[in-house]
Structure 1
Amino acid sequence: MPARLPESRSADLTIRLHQQAILSEFSVEALRGDDIDRLLQRAAELCAEGMGAEFCKALEYLHTEDMLLVRAGVGWGPEVIGKARIGADLASPAGFALKTGRPVISNHLENETRFRTPQLMAEHGIRRAINVLIENREGAFGVLEVDDSREGMFEEADIAFMQGFANLLGGAIERLRTEELLRAALARQDLLAREMSHRVKNSLTIVASLLALQAKGSESEDVRSALIDARTRVEAIAGVHDQLWRHSEPGDIDLALFLGTLCANLQSGAPHHRLVCTADPVHVPADRAIPFGLLVNEHVTNAVKYAYPDGGEIRIRSERAGDRLVLDVADDGVGLPADFDIAQASRSLGMRVVKNLVRQLGGSLTMPRGGQGTRFRIDMPLTG
């Protein structure tokens, strides 16, 4: 039969095991926590519980004031938390721990000759205190302190327990601040990207306006037509950049919204035609939205020019098929010549542009037969 431990030793072992369980519980919270104040408050609560103490406080060092702010705590009133300050000089227990990095135990503050008793602690009748430094690679954050107004003794073993809390806090604070800096950097990058897209869009709009003015002033029908075509292509690219700076996800385009806006712009330039636009909700990278928009622009422009002598309906449909996207542009107009071969169609600038854009998207261009008019279908992957 194993020998029994002395009662005092058994009680001490129970306390230490309880402290280790509490520390283990907090370690999970420190890894998952996303709010410094909540972590500091939780640490103060658990630390006071593990030490069986009345008071605990987490102090943040205010560099500009050389003071320690009571950021969180247990046992203190609302007039203390977030408001009370303690001197951070070497003459205070917390200041000594902060400046030297060494833990401080003072079991008889009323007889203490090394330090003065801060007014806050005197007002609450604090008789003993233990302080450990909270730090990380950024430097000292502050001090974790346990206080009690009752007689008793804090021991060296208590330092290990409290230092465990302080170390977990230091690591968690460093992680949260790093994450905050990363979020701020990403937000700034997002803002710069949006601003750049907005400026590019405005510049392209100016170019489109200049092309329109040049077209109006041209006496040649061929030149005027070429300038109008160029204007619509520039407007299609401007539309992508308009979506870029408005959209919530940088570099990502809501294709349904983009296609609707593009068709509305094309409709304004074709008052005798009716454009019917439908699109599945799907997001694509901006570098794919631009050639996609230009494809729609080319097909609609061609349909407006050649399908109907007096106007008619043009249908634009964008449909998701698994990891691919299918674009259909169809009309009920005069149709193409019977001997039209899409593989050989490269005489017009518009068809050369279309074929190059399809190749850029890694897609295929076909002309499903059946019914009146013309139908172009582009099948392409969603991502490049």
Structure 2
Amino acid sequence: MIPRRPETVTRRRVGAPVLARLLAGAALVALSAPFTVTAPVTAAPAIRCTTPSQQLLPEVPWTHRRLAPQRVWPLTRGDGVLVAVVDTGVDGAVPQLAGRVRRGVDVLTRGAFADDDCYGHGTFVAGIIAAQPAPGTGMVGLAPGARILPVRQAYGPTDGTTSGLARAIRAAVDGGASVINVSASSFFPSDELRQAVEYAAEQDVLVVAAVANEAQQGNPTAYPAAYPEVLAVGAIGPDGRRSEFSEVGSYLDLVAPGVDVVSLSRGGIGHLVDSGTSYATPFVAATAALVRSYHPNLTAAQVKRRLERTADHPGGKLPDPQVGWGVVNPYQAVTAILAEEHTRLAAPAGQPPIPPVAPPGGGPDHRSSAIEFSVTAAVLAGLVALLAYLIPLGTRRDWRSVGDSGDAPARDGRAG
């Protein structure tokens, strides 16, 4: 059995001292996994490094069976896209990430890099995005062609601040990322954090952020996920339902697998399993990387809208406060033709074209664009109505083909 990350063994509730700080408006940031914040710190804390795993998962994880990224890999694997992981750092020496991780930036320590990770949270997140295929395991990143820019904004699960998170987002933009994964949350709005998100949007960078895991502890609004420019992500389980811990609200955009997720351990060759919106978020960030690689002319706002429009929509009014626009769909996100983008998106030079055939599965894809279906139905209905009108009229007027008697068909104002 693949070991779980230690913090998911017991889900702790927010204690009275922490609640007092929250009510006082303390600028706390917690990693969006099923545990809660404690007091912020002003210096590097004495974080105990997590124990590396040496155990590989041989089979394909349920998350990949659900999202089926292999369908889109013949078109794009995310090549040419730099994804920033704003987190606890990323262990660039892990075999399945070797050569894919830049030195990065540590916003907590001036001049330091972020390509190591004592706690392991950032490495787990990065593996979901860009882990390389390896012998003996079915675990691979959703966008294995992408590269990772680690930006450290915390050393462990509870020491982040909104100011550090804001600096990290700006550092990710300045570092050249076109997609930023933020698997951390603050429960209070901040001008500094909002301005950092606006800076990313102005530079055409898409921020993808977790909605946090406090649905059963009051469901407080999570930032930066709640800012309108951000693609906010919640979690579902293997049954397709919203995870009980995943927060809800009008700002929720998409959901992705976030229960029993398998990814990489720091400091070893093995894997771990964990749950949280922290781990749903990189599935969406990786899908954004696939889209930005295949459709490089789309803006960040268009990529956000494309992921929403092409999701596996729930029944009822959209967006749904429980699951947003639905479950992210990597294949549809890359291949769908959206009328609102005003033009058919051709494949970039050197890329295979979007296939005009139905995807694997033995039948048409029932999740095709609703707009395309509506337009086709309207055209067919118009043709049927026209024929219903013209055929009886032509019969009454004894229409004949030109050449039968040397004369053209009879016409008048109604038939013309």
Common fold: TM-score over 0.5: no
Q: Which has the higher contact order (CA 8 A, sep 6+)?
A: 2
- Tell me the TM-score range normalised by the shorter chain: under 0.3
Which of the pair is proportionally richer in helix?
1
Structure 1 or 2, whichever has the larger Rg, is 1
* Normalised TM-score (structure 2): 0.24
Which of the pair is proportionally richer in strand?
1
